[in-house]
Structure 1
């Protein structure tokens, strides 16, 4: 199997995938050039991004550099080359690309990192260049993007930011928070003498995991936050904005919890921790804080939270390995291949049982288990990473050999060759067909023939038809049985007879259902019956009125 995925990132409506051979693929909405294909057209399936003219490890020019990282903002993208160089493309109105003033539809180097030396060698003037003959060139080891800003951590643990970033503004009373469009990248000097290990950002706030001492020992991380705090997304217990990094008290150096993952949504934040003592619960804890209007905090309400609170609906013994926040939803993945999501999107993979009646907006206020009908026990074998966009979620599983996606499918954001929504995880077209043919040709030493091209097109058409039928069957199954389709629960006689007794299956499902499930079924079917009766009554009234009008016309 070619093109094993080792990392994935999701923007507003586009996705990036990084493979083990150093390639980067993109798909979804193409406006502003965010896909890096040189066009603004949407891509319904993964396509490779070309980085012609890249720099090799020794600075020489080569055709295709190797990449070790990828990140996606709302409408822009970043890629990290194996030599520490940063590339960017897409929307650039806030200078989040770190170069030029216009949008870019093809990747370009962020030259600032090529010009600067190590951050401790910089003078207080952030724009002053350093003589790279005296110091080694600056190398980036990690990148992140969110909203309209970009972030990078260099090899010495210093944090760099650019784009629409929170910065201190000088007033007569001192400093106050403001958002400043900044380019090129500049360092955050508040962490001098310590190492920034992880960072995440929302629309207007940043959360960072920083060492308590100079070096990272694996468990000495302190959580800092700064920026817009209008909904409590900084986790400081108030709604006051912060122009500079401030320690989050719940995750200070005296905290009994050890941070190992952080993520940010538009105006909410999430942190994964593990305990360090026998008295603490085994497994992981997911903490959320900030805006909760759509249930994105997973606390069972739509209220906002000013301080970090654990998400109670997750199994206490689950060991969580990946976390991400979308615009208004959150997802986590466990080592066992279990996936939970909560928040908005009216049932698009988050809450398929929502009735959308009365005050029910269809949002998931508590974690809901996302199951896969094509896998054993609904779990995803070999989980790697989850990534959340504005209205879609992507999961890398089977140790990078398979990708799943669910949510809104407009512009091909689900990567399955279509633009339809999916309420349940569906397989992304991976590996891309072109990559398959290319690998086979390289292995056999032959070039791709026209027959292979035709066969590939036929296979693609069959895949699209199969995906459409699977989606149709799933939606039909959810409509009738109010739960996702699972082929393992089908009767054994179905493959033999080719028939399906829907009433028999519905009765079996009701016999095994819990009381609350039966109550939901009762509410759903009562609503359906009432709607049908109402439609029949309206049609009957229309017919009666029509007959009366005809009679009156004849009487005249």
Structure 2
């Protein structure tokens, strides 16, 4: 029988969003930390958490819910329980929580999914349908999109994703779906794993009807202007298409997949002549920050092998941040590459100890004494931070951006090297009565005063953090209204960061010059609607003023 005490502190899975992280323990509990805006931590509030806190789930039954999977989008979170139910919380502007409504700071049961029968069910018989009600076995999220794989291998998608227009002009556009929709292209096959970027999806699918360890085929779809679909061109696809490098006849079998904002990474293996397996990492898509690891900043439209990784290692985990990538070997080697030498830090971080992007894999050392991480399990990448699970799940390391407590170490400063996450969660020791001498009593009084001053300082800090969180939320909502996406730190103008001054006319001109046609059309529509609303209000006020003037003259 498993040791429940140990399982409660053993992390079996992690997932990172834009600036938050989720950890799943062996006994089925979920912990979160980092930025709390939009309720993405699931704590019932939007305050940041500098160290891991347990996410509480309201259940009508007396038994505690045991979770078996977690996933993080940019600003939302998902969890799947051992009974196949799905829970969601956080940002919901595109319906990525699986229901039509506001953001949720508390986990919500995705009831719409439970009420949906399996897409393979073609009969109208009510008894048969009740037997094919979905139970989710795996979940994934990315950007503003959510995905789930059910117990029969069917893939479901909701939130923001690409769809072909029904208009005569054709073309593609993004739709917001508030309920899970089956990806019917895979009916008759089993989806094994799936990953999602800002605007694209990549899935590993069984060649046969069920997955029994046979050939896996890689499919991709979504926007493709950087070649992130790996299909050899930059044409977008609204339906899944096979990536030829990893088709049924390929000697390479894909077993892990991850997506960054606009790039993709896969882990594959093939048998050597001596019968052993050779492991390899492949990347494609946007490469301007070195996130492909090919030694250049060139983008690629077809999968290419990350050649500078050793051939002798077995890679067990891969993940992508917005513009960086990390892999882990079974021996405890960790490599990262991409923005700010693989840290994922945005250029405005102005970290003096590092400079430039890493175009090739860099080995990340556990400590000055030991380069390897003992018994690694998984790596996960947020927008600008990385978290590694090691020591068979009993220790977590994090590095990169530290603002809002993203690294889970109790502080808010960036860390260029791995730092220990405060895990297991910090608990207070039981109070013990002790006999004190007169000198100790005086010392205790001084310590109480110091403690009171610290408490007052903490209250002031919390008040400032609350004001900052409110301001950030206001800015993000305003930014979303204008530009169609939430505010991110990379959206801060360089002039404001460098000099503290902001020339709005100049920045506006620069933004218009760099915007593509779609963005300009959205801006035109936004300001046209705004101007129309202002004109309507001016006309209403004029009518009211004229009416008041007429009434006053009549009296």
Q: Same fold (TM over 0.5)?
A: yes
| Pair 1:155-2:151 in alignment | yes
Question: Which residue is equivalent to 1:530?
Answer: none
Preserved contact between residue 4 and residue 401 of structure 1 (Cα < 8 Å):
yes
* Displacement of 1:346: 5.5
* Displacement of 1:378: 1.2
Q: How does 1:28-67 map to 2 (within 5 A)?
A: 28-53=34-59, 61-62=61-62, 64-67=64-67
Question: Which residue is equivalent to 1:21?
Answer: 27
Q: How does 1:102-113 map to 2 (within 5 A)?
A: 102-113=102-113
Distance in 2, Cα, partners of 1:313 & 1:206:
26
Question: Which residue is equivalent to 2:459?
Answer: none
Cα deviations by residue, 1:280-330 (Å, 9 ceiling, x for unpaired) = 995311000000010000001111000000001100111000000000000
Q: How does 1:67-466 map to 2 (within 5 A)?
A: 67-121=67-121, 134-172=130-168, 176-278=171-273, 282-345=277-340, 348=343, 362-373=356-367, 377-434=370-427, 448-449=430-431
Distance in 1, Cα, partners of 2:133 & 2:224:
36
Preserved contact between residue 349 and residue 370 of structure 1 (Cα < 8 Å):
no
SS in 1 for 2:231: coil
Preserved contact between residue 178 and residue 243 of structure 1 (Cα < 8 Å):
no
Structure 1 residues 349 and 34: alpha-carbon distance in aligned structure 2, compared to 1, 3 A threshold? closer
Question: Which residue is equivalent to 2:526?
Answer: none
Distance in 2, Cα, partners of 1:52 & 1:169:
40
Distance in 1, Cα, partners of 2:342 & 2:116:
48
TM-score w.r.t. length of structure 1: 0.73
Moved over 3 A (4+): 128-134, 279-282, 345-351, 448-452
SS in 2 for 1:62: coil
The answer for unaligned runs of 5 or more in structure 2 is: 1-5, 435-446, 455-555
* Displacement of 1:122: 5.4
Distance in 2, Cα, partners of 1:191 & 1:451:
65
* Displacement of 1:278: 1.8
* Displacement of 1:31: 0.1
Task: Give the number of aligned pairs.
Answer: 429
* Displacement of 1:138: 1.0
Distance in 2, Cα, partners of 1:130 & 1:95:
29
Preserved contact between residue 94 and residue 164 of structure 1 (Cα < 8 Å):
yes
Structure 1 residues 349 and 271: alpha-carbon distance in aligned structure 2, compared to 1, 3 A threshold? closer
SS in 1 for 2:373: coil
TM-score w.r.t. length of structure 2: 0.73
Distance in 2, Cα, partners of 1:148 & 1:220:
31
* Displacement of 1:393: 0.1
Distance in 1, Cα, partners of 2:13 & 2:162:
27
Preserved contact between residue 91 and residue 97 of structure 1 (Cα < 8 Å):
yes
Structure 1 residues 130 and 222: alpha-carbon distance in aligned structure 2, compared to 1, 3 A threshold? farther
Distance in 2, Cα, partners of 1:349 & 1:39:
27
* Displacement of 1:217: 2.4
Preserved contact between residue 317 and residue 379 of structure 2 (Cα < 8 Å):
yes
Preserved contact between residue 341 and residue 362 of structure 2 (Cα < 8 Å):
no
* Displacement of 1:3: 1.2
Cα deviations by residue, 1:92-128 (Å, 9 ceiling, x for unpaired) = 00000002310000000111222122221158xxxx9
Question: Which residue is equivalent to 1:480?
Answer: none
CA RMSD of aligned residues (A): 2.8
Preserved contact between residue 92 and residue 103 of structure 1 (Cα < 8 Å):
yes
* Displacement of 1:177: 3.1
SS in 2 for 1:47: strand
Preserved contact between residue 88 and residue 97 of structure 2 (Cα < 8 Å):
yes
Question: Which residue is equivalent to 2:509?
Answer: none
Distance in 2, Cα, partners of 1:187 & 1:269:
23
